[in-house]
Amino acid sequence: MERTLKKKISLYLKACFFLLFINTVTSEESEDINFGIVIHGGAGSYENLSPKKEKAYKDGVNEALIKGYEILKSGGTSVEAVTEAVSILEDFSLFNAGKGSVYTSKETQEMDASIMNGLNGMAGAVASVSTIKNPIRLARAVMEKSPHVLLVGEGAENFAKQNNIKTVDPSYFHSEKNLQRVRELKKDNKLGTVGAIALDKQGNLAAATSTGGRSNKMPGRVGDSPILGAGTWAENGLCAVSGTGHGEYFMRQLTAAEVCNKMKYLQMSLEDAANAVVERLSKTGAAGGIIALDSKGKISTPFNTAGMVRGMYSREGGKTIKIYKED
């Protein structure tokens, strides 16, 4: 009886030491990871920005960076971080996503968004939605609460109601400035698309992108933002990418996934791979840029336009916000 009791105690103590060892190793590993988040507010023509307007762009990115980084620092997932960061940008009328979405040629809004989890390859996307306050939240619901990847239009909005995703009256998105731009200029000069990528303490990557699309676009037009591999991609051990620019080119070239593929098959560094895909965009006449983050926390943000609002916040690198190449 006594021998049996001693044996049980010995086994119990061994189990405790084993769990303590595992927790210690896990803790040390998480401390070694350069977790962080990278955000963009769109690439485009940023010439002649007033100091006030420039500050407004940076303030929006700063708020999203702080929120995302706080989630990561407290042990939250990369999926949670990119969701909340993009949601904040969607609530800023300054950016072409959510509340700031531009008008179609029929003077309506049609928004797109996608999100991808690098841990398991799961993803969700929505396109051509007009009453969703935060399309990125709906995209995440598609990923986590449906067997599908992409829902569009009325079907997506019905799914939102079924899953308590906040909807609003279309008047919420009204902007006299954006409307006049469509009526008078009949061209796309609104800086567009927002996105976020993150690496969490567990080493998992995630990416999210949201947009109002191109100003004066044909109703029903869908760009790269909700298309996995084109505007959004995340793959553990490689990289997470979010793009901004001429969506048709991003779709033809699968720009986001191509960064990871160059790293995987050509053994290129993140920096070289990211620069290569943007150089290809330039050669085909496309304007735009990407933000990219690898599994070691390295960051690359190449673009071929006058500017791209972007920010990064990592454990080792601290926080930085830029607009121009020379910043």
Q: What amino acid positions are annotated as catalytic residues?
A: 193
Q: Amino acid identity of 243? A: G
Question: Which residue do the tokens 């307007």 mark?
Answer: 53
DSSP 73-134: HTT--HHHHHHHHHHHHHT-TTSBSGGGPPPBTTS---EEEEEEETTT--EEEEEEESSBS-
Cβ burial of 136 (10 Å; 0-12, 13-18, 19+) is buried
Q: DSSP state, 190?
A: S
Q: Which of 121, 112, 74, 315 is nearest to 229 (CA)?
A: 121
* Phi and psi based region of residue 220 (left: phi greater than 0; alpha: psi -120 to 50; beta: remaining): left
